[in-house]
Amino acid sequence: MTWEAVTTLGFRGEALPSIGSVSRLRIVSRAAGAEHGAEVSADGGALTPVRPAAHPLGTTIEVRDLFFNVPARRKFVRSDATELTHIARLVERLVLSRFDVSFRLRHGTRVLLDAPAVNGAGAELTRLEGVLGGDFPAAAVAVRHAAGPVMLSGWAGLPTRARAQPDQQFWFVNGRSVRDRLLMNAVRLAYRDVLYHGRHAAYVLYLTLDPKLVDVNAHPAKLEVRFRDSRQIHDFAFRAVERALADTKPDLGRRLGRLGRSGARRRRRGARRARDEPAALSAHARSVGDRRLGARRGGAAGGGGRGTSPRHGARATARRLHPRAESRGTRSGWTCMRRTSGVLYEKFKAERASGTPASQYYCWNP
């Protein structure tokens, strides 16, 4: 048996004594069929003799007062909230990697995560709810694709459940949690046609393949792996996720139809506004305009100048409204136009005469 055939996560041999040398470590374990368990402790590296202890089936490892005897290292430890976040993220990855193992995370007297062992596809979704939220199962599609010795399974979140941060993206290779850039890039390309820029999908994906085809010792923290045929694995993951998301892509014909219907609705609203404008307001605007234009025409007649033409008065008022405005005569009065918007000139004069604050309207063809 070669090391390539080892499928368990394993444990580095020097890690346990290293932890025991900078903390107060206690290990209690009971094997199947044993009458009682065994306990061993280490206080700052000082090991105690093994002694019998009462313990249920399994192993308990307690680490207390980390770096209590190494003040130089202790000052580099982050705040309790930050370290707790790192621990919670680690436990979440373990929860999603082994559905047949129970996990419980406590902080003081508060239980942060309780994930009992489950079996079955429906039960697995309940565990996903505890990590990714109760809305994830209903907003995700199942992914399952196999090609030879390689299989990809899991769940991919719908584009409508995209997030601002990539904090709910989980990859597992042969049961090992990884943050491999090759695999994450494959999923990102699969979402490129259905996801807005700057948004991140949520997914939980499991890649299973022959252990001989992947090297898990490529990264010191085992967060990245190296595939023997990385290009083929990338394309396989990309096609599998893209195929699962194929039904979530918007239909172009339906989108064009909706755009056409919305444009027709806007045109009908514009025509309805023009038709329903009160006739009294238009008549009042014309009467006020006639009086003011007549007075302006009479006053300008004695002194001459450009005031003799109603068009000049409209243009002057229009330019006071906006330097780039121009006036045009219509059947219902004078219209003050801008490049991007306009105001009905006679309506503006009527509102000023009545003391109502002037406002700007979108103009239409009278």
3-class state of residue 59 by DSSP: strand
Q: Is 75 exposed, middle or buried (0-12, 13-18, 19+ CB in 10 A)?
A: exposed
Distance CA 19, CA 41 (A): 12
Which of 45, 73, 108 is a domain's end point?
108
Residue 33 has pLDDT above 60, yes or no: yes
118 lies in a domain? Answer: no
- Phi/psi at 268 (nearest 5 deg)? -65, -35
**Do residue 158 and residue 200 come from a single domain?**
yes
147 lies in a domain? Answer: yes
157 lies in a domain? Answer: yes
**Do residue 241 and residue 321 come from a single domain?**
no
Q: The domain spanning residue 97 has which CATH number?
A: 3.30.565.10
3-class state of residue 171 by DSSP: strand
273 lies in a domain? Answer: no
Residue 24 has pLDDT above 90, yes or no: yes
* Torsion on CA atoms 117, 119, 125, 128, rounded to nearest 10: 30
164 lies in a domain? Answer: yes
**Do residue 73 and residue 145 come from a single domain?**
no
| Tokens read off for 273 | 């506004």
**Do residue 180 and residue 243 come from a single domain?**
yes
Which percentage of the chain shows pLDDT scores above 90? Answer: 44
What's the domain count of the chain?
Answer: 3
Residues 290-316 pLDDT 10s: 555 555 555 545 444 444 455 455 555
267 lies in a domain? Answer: no
Residues 219-236 pLDDT 10s: 777 788 899 999 999 999
Q: What is the mean pLDDT of residues 33-51?
A: 93
Residues 315-361 pLDDT 10s: 555 455 454 444 555 444 544 444 434 445 666 677 777 776 555 54
Write out the residue range of the structural domain in which residue 70 sits. 15-108
Residue 93 has pLDDT above 50, yes or no: yes
309 lies in a domain? Answer: yes
Q: Which residue has the higher pLDDT, 303 or 202?
A: 202
Q: The domain spanning residue 210 has which CATH number?
A: 3.30.230.10
* DSSP alpha helix (H) spans, the chain: 15-21, 71-74, 80-97, 121-132, 181-190, 230-244, 252-275, 279-303, 310-321, 345-354
**Do residue 290 and residue 226 come from a single domain?**
no
Distance CA 314, CA 336 (A): 8
Spatial neighbors of 105 by CB under 8 A, at least 6 apart, are: 87, 88, 91, 111, 112, 113, 114
**Do residue 66 and residue 101 come from a single domain?**
yes
Q: Contact 334/328 with Cβ under 8 angstroms?
A: yes
Using CA of residue 355, residue 359, residue 360, residue 362, what is the dihedral sign?
Answer: negative
| Tokens read off for 102 | 């129970």
**Do residue 151 and residue 92 come from a single domain?**
no
**Do residue 93 and residue 39 come from a single domain?**
yes
**Do residue 232 and residue 292 come from a single domain?**
no
**Do residue 201 and residue 291 come from a single domain?**
no
**Do residue 53 and residue 149 come from a single domain?**
no
362 lies in a domain? Answer: no
Which percentage of the chain shows pLDDT scores above 70? Answer: 66
**Do residue 139 and residue 237 come from a single domain?**
yes
